Structure 1
Amino acid sequence: MRTSQFILLFLCSLIGFSGTVHAQDSLKLVPTISVDSLDLLALQMEDDLRDQQGLAPRYAVPNLVEITAATHGHWEKLDDKLAMWRLRFTCKNAISMNFGFQRWLLPIDSEMMIYNVEGTHRIRPFTIDDYNDSGELWTPAVAGGDVIIEIRCPQNAVTLIKEEIKLTSVNAGYRGFHEAFGQQPLPNNIPSLSGSCNIDVACPESVGWENEIDCVGVISTGGSTFCTGFMVNNTSQDGTPYFMTADHCGIVSGNAPSLVVYWNYENSFCRTPGSAASGGPGDGVLNQFSTGSIYRAGSATSDFTLVELNSPPNAAFGVSFCGWDASTSAPTSAVGIHHPATDEKRISFENQPPSLSTNFVTVNDWDAGTTEPGSSGSPLFDQNHRVIGQLCCGGAACGNNLSDDYGRFSRSWNLGLAAWLDSAGTGQLFVDTLPAGGGGPVEQCSNGTDDDGDGLVDCNDPDCAPSPACGGGGGPGAPANDLCSDAQAVGEGVFAFDNTGSVLDGPNACDTNMGTDVWFAYTATTSGTATIETCGSAGSLDDTVLIVYDGGSCPPSPTCLASDDDGCTTPNFSSTVSVPVVAGNTYLIQVGGWNGATGNSDLSISV
């Protein structure tokens, strides 16, 4: 963020009021703050470097200021009861402007409006309902480079407003949202309009994906950068406004209040993919938005960020909450929904199974549509309409067959997502999309009550299929020995296992890196020192955690006999322990992946 020198053309620092005037009186009364003109060539060079560094695309230049209603602007009396404050902002070659308030509080019966001087674009009024605990307010963008901020309030509220309104960032836009602002992209200004091969969500190809389309939005952070993100459901399905995007989009705890999400920014009709119209300006509008959030979790490992919006989106916007799958099940196809180059929402299709690695899901070559800068953070859905990742990186674009990498949802699950999306600790590893207007009672699966009122109780309700209480093991395809109560009975020998689809079941106090575990009930056939290990396995799970407990009762005591993380030399991160055993006694063995790693391996037991 760079600090711009700003020129104060008029400064009325008024402690009282001017005489009674009318709002429509000449703008000559309104002082003007002008920020530096934009050096488009320098910005293009900076943006090329940002792109090489994998940073989120930028659409506006922040200018740091310190402006209050006590030190700047013009106060007027509208009548015997109402007062009005106005301040004008200009940037010679900006196509949009947005604003960040470090301190913002309006009293009851007051409102703030932002509009361009031409009168073509106005943001809905901000009121006391927009206040949040951070005390900050960041606005959507307004078209053009000549904008007025106006506050109307009771005259007895003027003193409070002078103290509680502090503007600290004036952000001049130079690209993005072009058609919404009636502007064509500047020459050589990438990202420009999205490519013609993209598919509008209004096209017939998107039929059946309406609920998932409704959960995706285009975002601005810090009044400067843009990406895509999506509302995300949770196991309680209670409409908590969790929102996900990519870690590289740059949202952290310090700037989370600056998040602005635009909803339903879509073309009103299908522009034929491949046509000139599809690569040209659309007719989407930016009048539905949410502003402000609280940072909840994130990791560069799988490139995810989770925030909680300050308030749920307005019900009239029809925003849904995306379903997801945190298991390691392999998808058979994939669909991406995104905002390429901050343009209207598009949809892309991959008809083949994506490739899977520990941290990423890779779309090798889109069969229809593509992604572009600005699509980062957008969700990738599997054939069951559940999110399996968010866009990290890749080179896909119209005219090439390059791949895209999505941070894998199942990896993010154990890197912070589970604590928020399954705060009830149900162990579920998938939920479906919660449609707009959804929420309400959810079947709890183990209390003998028909919680959701569908006439089906607990495990008789299909909603409980993924619940461990109903033998689901937390997700589809869970191993038979996923739960401690289903531990596989073994003696000495070598036993293959696969923890794909499993969940953490039982204590992990002896090693908090334990995750996605399976269980064995080992009964010793001879007394001595038992060596229990995953060393030497050639399986895909090469980073294991191993804990051994005395006795065969579940749940076991949190106090273990032994534990190990990286005791082996082959593979480097496999595990080995040695414990004294007595013939005829049973010992529970908990073996899992480090921090949620999954795959197949072998458990060897010898005395």
Structure 2
Amino acid sequence: MRKRGDGCRVAGLLGLVSLVSLMSGSAAAQVAETFGLADHRLPVVEKAESRPLSERLGLDLDAGRDLVGQVMLPPVDVERLLEEDAAQEPWDKVLRWGVGRDIAVEMTDGVWHDLPGLGRLWVVDVVAAEAMAMRIQFSDMNLPEGAQLYAYSVADSTKVAGPYAGTGLFDTGEFWGPTLLGDQVRIELFVPRAADLQVGMHHRYFRVGRIQHMYRDPVQEAFLKGEFGDERGAGSCHNDVSCYPGWADVAKASAGIGWVNSNSLWCSGTMLNTTANDQTPYWLTANHCLSTAGDAQSAEIYWLYQRNGCGGSIPSVASVPQSATCQLMGTGSASDYTLLMIRGELPTGLFWAGWYSGTVSNGQDTACIHHPSGDYKRISFGTKGSNTTNFVRINWYDGPTEPGSSGSGIFRTNTQQLYGQLCCGISACGSETWDDYGYFFRSYPNISSLLAAGSDDN
């Protein structure tokens, strides 16, 4: 897991250093800013529930064990992984929720089914015993014309990933499939008759050499902590954002993000408005969370992961709307920012947060909306302390942050405009002290042309 030790030590000088104003009075009058924008897109027509290709073709794969191949990995030592997570540096606000595991899935591991007049269907189950959820990495993919690849959870076949064709999502032959619930993912490959006759049944159309094994379930952990005092899950000191109706709009701009580095990691972030108010789906998070094009391509953004009202029910993270895959638009370690553009489909009813690119006075009342421990959305309140060139310190008085909160935005409470994103800090339940945030004032010049008018996001 990537750490923020050095960056936070630098930012840790914040309490001793004050920033001399870098802008003249005339320049300050021209500070770029936007305010929040409600979603004015037409409602998306809900898609019909997807079904596995085998089911649509009339194949009953549950009729016998020999109808589906299987490649299986043993369980992971969850307690050891949780101990590692608990031992991470207190200032590190990135959450690990899954681990990468090597696996070897060959074409000979699957079972071929003849489809008279159509072609053939290849089926294999990839099992990671006791996983909460899984992601599959497909590589060396080069499917012939008409071939289609699908993947779905055996436990919940209503969410079918695909069809993938040719060389995959990014035309590189390599990509991560979405997070699928349970410990058993079924892969189905359809090859049309013409292509099958050319290459034969043992041709390698793609390779699966790595998976992500999710060992944490934030909702379950929140329940365990509340009911049994379990040490996992977000602490009890946090404020439910749904109990603060004045922040309901900004909460719709804030979301959680899962992505793959070597393991599966989780941070928070915020969708930003442009000065053109054109609803380009720009999304701000931290550089120490995601910083490469590959990180962005593997990203999954989880929207509206919050209670349905103050004291309402907690949704499963798997049940909330998601957007898959992003494009890296800009990133920088100096002020710890990353700007993504979401390429996957956006649900309706979201919000584009406003931002302020000028300096912010000490003592400014501030709020942060985030996903502590990958749990449902919370809000924390504090005041701006001193700052260095690239970072601002927030002194909390009501609610801290936790791992999983990294990348979340801070907002001026009087205007609800973003002016930074979480880098690191020592705050936690029982220690509502301080955290350091990358200063949007310093990040903005690097992305100003993007935020002036959105890119083509079609």
Q: TM over 0.5: same fold?
A: yes
Residue 225 of structure 1: aligned partner: 265
- Is the Cα contact below 8 Å between 1:134 and 1:257 reproduced in 2? no
Structure 1 residue 154: Cα displacement: 5.0
1:22-101 correspondence runs (5 A):
22-48=60-86, 50-51=88-89, 54=92, 56-67=94-105, 70-77=107-114, 80-81=117-118, 83-101=120-138
Residue 376 of structure 1: aligned partner: 406
Q: Which amino acid aligns with 1:87?
A: V
Residue 421 of structure 1: aligned partner: 451
Distance 1:406 1:170, change over 3 A: same
Structure 1 residue 374: Cα displacement: 0.5
Q: CA–CA distance in 1 between the matches of 2:275 and 2:436?
A: 26
Structure 1 residue 339: Cα displacement: 0.9
Residue 170 of structure 2: aligned partner: 132
Structure 1 residue 263: Cα displacement: 1.8
Range with bigger deviation, 133-142 or 254-263: 133-142
1:492-503 correspondence runs (5 A):
none
Structure 1 residue 323: Cα displacement: 1.9
Residue 241 of structure 2: aligned partner: 201
Structure 1 residue 33: Cα displacement: 1.5
Distance 1:224 1:74, change over 3 A: same
Structure 1 residue 404: Cα displacement: 1.6
Distance 1:177 1:282, change over 3 A: same
Query: Which SS does the other structure have where 1:364 is aligned?
Result: strand
Distance 1:181 1:48, change over 3 A: closer
Q: Does 1:123 align with 2:154?
A: no
Structure 1 residue 341: Cα displacement: 0.8
Q: Which amino acid aligns with 1:308?
A: M
Distance 1:283 1:78, change over 3 A: same
Instruction: Find 1:307's aligned residue among 340, 350, 355.
Output: 340
Q: Which amino acid aligns with 1:305?
A: T
* Corresponding pairs, count: 390
Q: Does 1:166 align with 2:212?
A: no
Max Rg structure: 1
Q: CA–CA distance in 1 between the matches of 2:317 and 2:307?
A: 5
- Is the Cα contact below 8 Å between 1:259 and 1:291 reproduced in 2? yes
- Is the Cα contact below 8 Å between 2:61 and 2:68 reproduced in 1? no
Q: CA–CA distance in 2 between the matches of 1:370 and 1:42?
A: 26
- Is the Cα contact below 8 Å between 1:377 and 1:392 reproduced in 2? yes
Residue 182 of structure 2: aligned partner: 144
Residue 23 of structure 2: aligned partner: none
Q: Which amino acid aligns with 2:325?
A: G
1:378-457 correspondence runs (5 A):
378-382=408-412, 383-414=414-445, 416-422=446-452
Q: CA–CA distance in 2 between the matches of 1:45 and 1:400?
A: 21
Structure 1 residue 354: Cα displacement: 4.8
**Percent of matched pairs sharing the same residue:** 29
Q: CA–CA distance in 2 between the matches of 1:259 and 1:167?
A: 19
Q: Could you list the runs of 5+ residues in structure 1 that have no partner in the other structure?
A: 2-19, 426-438, 441-607
Structure 1 residue 170: Cα displacement: 0.9
Structure 1 residue 128: Cα displacement: 5.0
Query: Could you state the TM-score of these two structures normalised by the residue count of structure 1?
Result: 0.56
Q: Does 1:241 align with 2:316?
A: no
Q: Could you list the runs of 5+ residues in structure 2 that have no partner in the other structure?
A: 2-57
Instruction: Find 2:370's aligned residue among 334, 338, 355.
Output: 338
Q: CA–CA distance in 2 between the matches of 1:216 and 1:105?
A: 37
- Is the Cα contact below 8 Å between 1:219 and 1:262 reproduced in 2? yes
Distance 1:156 1:197, change over 3 A: farther
Query: Which SS does the other structure have where 1:406 is aligned?
Result: strand
Looking at secondary structure, tell me which structure has more helix per residue: 2
- Is the Cα contact below 8 Å between 1:219 and 1:261 reproduced in 2? yes
- Is the Cα contact below 8 Å between 1:105 and 1:164 reproduced in 2? yes
- Is the Cα contact below 8 Å between 2:61 and 2:67 reproduced in 1? no
1:275-294 correspondence runs (5 A):
283-294=316-327
Q: Does 1:324 align with 2:355?
A: yes
